[in-house]
Amino acid sequence: MLTLFTAAFLLGLVFNAAPGPVFAETVRRSLRGGFRPALAVQIGSLVGDALWAVLGLAGVGLLLQLELLRVPIGIAGVAYLLWLAWDAWHASDCEWAASAVRDSDVRHKALRSGVLLSLTNPQNVAYWAALGSALGAVGVPRPTAVDYSVFFAGFMMSSIVWAFVFAALVDRLFRGTGSRWVRITYRVCAIAFLALALSSLRELWISQRTALIQAPNNTSH
């Protein structure tokens, strides 16, 4: 059990440390509100991660690989990333100092943003759908409910640790940043959101094209 928990903990760190939408949004929210909004984004993303983890480890995640569900989720993710890109670019033109706003409204928006980014990320669907049937790679060929629970606990524990560490690191790095660098960083985040949206759209297009090509072959058999 300890080996399984450790493996899940390490996989969780790798999963959460990978640069992506949540990474960029944490930086953006930290610039405007400091540690608490940055942490709110991270905690919000854990809600979506936990949902995909439960579905994936329960085997339901295999159903979520169906194009019928993956495409709407992917489109929703692309739309939200495009909105974040526009919002970040628009906010870069506003005149305010870093860490000037620290209220519950900012934290609530940051929390909601983290939840939506995680729920609409098609990579989460693929990750957990595959991982739910791959516990044999860590020495559990026939996982039981207890094994799933241990794996889930290890993954979520590492995610919580990462949430606090990364939020504190980002806050420390950008604390006291001048308005000019805040503006530049916001625009960098906007470009990152746009690039991620285009990348997700490209992956959706490729997956749909592949499915259409394979469809005639499947029907011929």
pLDDT of 100: 46
Tally helices (H) and strands (E) across the chain. 8, 0
Give yes or no for a contact between 92 and 183, defined as CB atoms under 8 angstroms apart.
yes
Own/partner pairs, 102-107, CB within 8 angstroms, 24+ separation: 102/33, 102/34, 102/36, 102/37, 103/33, 106/29, 106/32, 106/33, 106/37, 107/33, 107/36, 107/37, 107/40
Q: Which domain holds residue 194?
A: 2-220
pLDDT digits (tens, 9 = 90+) for 71-117: 777 788 788 788 878 877 877 666 544 444 446 677 888 899 999 98
Domains held by the chain: number: 1
What's the mean per-residue pLDDT of the chain?
77
pLDDT of 45: 92
